[in-house]
Amino acid sequence: MKRLLLACLCAAMLCGFAGAAHAKTLKMALDADPVSLDPHVQLSGGMLQYSHICFDPLVRWAKDGSFEPRLAVSWEQIDPLTTRFHLREGVKFHSGNAFTAKDVAWTLERLKQSQDYKFLFELFGPAKVVDDLTVDIVTTKPYGLVLAMATYIFPMDSAFYSGMDDSGQPKDAIVKTGPSFALTNESGTGPFAVTYREQGVKTVFTRFKDYWDTKSPGNVDEIVLTPIKEEATRVAALLSGDVDFISPVPPQDLERVGAHKDVQLVTMSGTRVITFQLNQKRRPEFADKRVRMAVEYAVNNAGIVDKIMKGFATVAAQQSPAGYAGHNPELAPRFDLDKAKALMKEAGYEKGFTVTMIAPNNRYVNDEKIAQAVAGMLAKINIKVELKTMPKAQYWDEFDAQVADIQMIGWHSDTEDTANFFEYLLMCPNKETGSGQYNSGNYCNPELDALVIAANAEFDTAKRTAMLQQAEKMAYDDAAFVNLHWQNNSWAGRKNHKNLEHILNVMDFPYFGDLVVE
């Protein structure tokens, strides 16, 4: 009997110790999981979040807006066109290969091939490898945003991604839809490596044991990412303890989550603007400025912010949020139903017409409800909207194919600068250069393009600001697209996530490698 008791006691103690030394797992529920393991397939918030988990950028944004060295330890401008980056020593990729300047040059070359990224890197020439740990990034024109762009250079393992895969396709092929080597394989230098992935079901990231940043306080050994599209389910999973971290927190649940005793809520006012694009190529009606203006006047964006977003967003009348160079304080939100009706009458569409609209249902905060509300508002000026919403995994293919007359898109400026909005959303679409890559409205105003290009070459801050503000005014006067709001960011984690607020930022790129769980 005594022996049995002793054995039980020993077993219990063993279990206890095992529990204490148990690996720290962060169970995370987001509205969607990465569409691919290839970071260059899509320029989107979700893919950049993934990049920060599995890869490291040359530099990254710190909380105060400065640049924090990551794979680059220091940098200097050696002439107006060249910035020299000194790289970190002893960094290893997940495959075991050593990280060198060659990988940086290779990654930049691949970025320039990517449909989505190529316009961001249009001014960049091929990088020059000086030695193993020194690389020169060269631009074709003097460019003020080289460091901001370096936050998007996540060096990939050039040796790992070279050669042919089993189906005879080059391993570095960037394939938007369909199989590719990079879709299912990854090798970066980041704090975590993907060890299991079933798309749309579960992704497991395991701490990389040879991670270079040994000074990082982060102690999470494993991240299990489960996409939960249903908002109520996501919140319930957090509150019941099934998951430890969720994002976004739906506006209707902020109060409840904030008041919970085991949970901490972090919110930040955001810089991501939510808009609708009116396709002028599909619908000749939208080529008429009066019709676009009528739509802009018919959409009560203050009402959407108030009712659907529960005040958890800022009403927008332009793309640049306050604090950006191009933010034009003169532009005020427009909503006037009578004026909208008058404009429709003036344009000869008093009886209205029927259009199609698509929107994602797990990409932006309350995206589906916003789309429904806008459809209802347009009905009041006799524009009948046939709306279809879908998960983002399908949405971007449909968006690129421009299957509907009105399409929703939200944009966060990649460079934290106004020009980026114009370059991607409003410049005349050009497949060669990649400008207007996400301009599904096909709005094209050469004057506006010229102004933004001139602003990019302008180094006098005051002049550049005036030019970008002028550009915002032109888009506003032209009702180039439908403005809604800048959505706020929200995350919720457990109380024992010690530095949760520090690893989160307004770009919504959480630095999970540094998360401390007690």
Partner 1 sequence: MALLARLRESYLLHSFLRDPVAVGSFIVVVLLVTAGFLAPVLAPMNPYDPAQIDVMDSELAPAWIDQDSSFLLGTDSQGRDILSTILYGTRVSVLIGLGAVALQAALGIGIGLISGYAGGRVDAVLMRVADVQLSFSTYMVAIFLGAIFQATFGVGRYEQIAVPFLIAVIGLAEWPQYARTVRASVLAEKKKEYVEAARVIGLPSGRIMWRHILPNTMTPVMVISTVQVANAIMSEAALSFIGLGMPVTKPSLGSLIKSGFEYIFSGAWWITLFPGVVLVLLILTINLLGDWMRDFLNPKLYKS
Which residues contact partner 1 (rule: CB under 8 A)? 230-232, 235-236, 250, 252-253, 256, 300, 303-304, 306-308, 354, 356-358, 368-369, 372-373, 375-380, 385-388, 403-404
Burial class, 149, CB count within 10 angstroms (exposed 0-12 / middle 13-18 / buried 19+): buried
| Residue (324 or 396) nearer to partner 1, CB | 396
Q: In angstroms, rounded to a whole number, what is the distance separating the alpha carbons of residues 205 and 261?
A: 28
- Tell me, what amino acid is at 19? G
Strand locations in 108-249 (E):
128-131, 134-138, 192-198, 202-207, 222-227, 245-247
Going by C-alpha positions, the residue among 275, 316, 287 that lies closest to residue 442 is 287
- CB of 308 vs partner 1, minimal distance in Å: 7
- CB of 380 vs partner 1, minimal distance in Å: 5
| Residue (89 or 262) nearer to partner 1, CB | 262
Which single residue is written with the structure tokens 């691949």?
110
| Residue (114 or 483) nearer to partner 1, CB | 483
- CB of 47 vs partner 1, minimal distance in Å: 25
| Residue (138 or 342) nearer to partner 1, CB | 342
| Residue (283 or 388) nearer to partner 1, CB | 388
- CB of 20 vs partner 1, minimal distance in Å: 34
- CB of 45 vs partner 1, minimal distance in Å: 22
Burial class, 159, CB count within 10 angstroms (exposed 0-12 / middle 13-18 / buried 19+): middle
Q: In angstroms, rounded to a whole number, what is the distance separating the alpha carbons of residues 379 and 298?
A: 9
Q: In angstroms, rounded to a whole number, what is the distance separating the alpha carbons of residues 229 and 346?
A: 43
| Residue (171 or 283) nearer to partner 1, CB | 283
- CB of 330 vs partner 1, minimal distance in Å: 27
| Residue (232 or 457) nearer to partner 1, CB | 232
- CB of 335 vs partner 1, minimal distance in Å: 11
Q: In angstroms, rounded to a whole number, what is the distance separating the alpha carbons of residues 353 and 382?
A: 7
> What are all long-range contacts of 249-255, with beta carbons under 8 Å and residues at least 24 apart?
249/490, 249/491, 249/492, 250/365, 250/366, 251/308, 251/309, 251/310, 251/311, 251/312, 251/365, 251/366, 251/490, 252/310, 254/310, 254/312, 254/490
Tell how strand 353-360 and strand 202-207 pair up.
unpaired
- Tell me, what amino acid is at 271? T
| Residue (327 or 369) nearer to partner 1, CB | 369
Instruction: Please state the φ and ψ torsions of residue 310, each to the nearest 5 degrees.
Output: 55, 40
- CB of 347 vs partner 1, minimal distance in Å: 19
| Residue (135 or 375) nearer to partner 1, CB | 375
- CB of 407 vs partner 1, minimal distance in Å: 11
- Tell me, what amino acid is at 452? V
| Residue (97 or 372) nearer to partner 1, CB | 372
- Which ranges in 77-215 belong to alpha helices (H)? 101-113, 146-150, 181-184
- CB of 403 vs partner 1, minimal distance in Å: 6
- CB of 222 vs partner 1, minimal distance in Å: 29
Buried b (16+ CB within 10 A) or exposed e, 489-510: bbbbbbeebeebeebbbbbbbb
| Residue (95 or 372) nearer to partner 1, CB | 372
Compute the chain's Rg from CA coordinates. 24
Token code pair at residue 32: 């969607």
DSSP annotation of 230 reads -
DSSP annotation of 170 reads B
Q: Is 254 helix (H, G, I), strand (E, B) or coil?
A: helix
- CB of 387 vs partner 1, minimal distance in Å: 6
| Residue (146 or 385) nearer to partner 1, CB | 385
Going by C-alpha positions, the residue among 308, 315, 200 that lies closest to residue 250 is 308
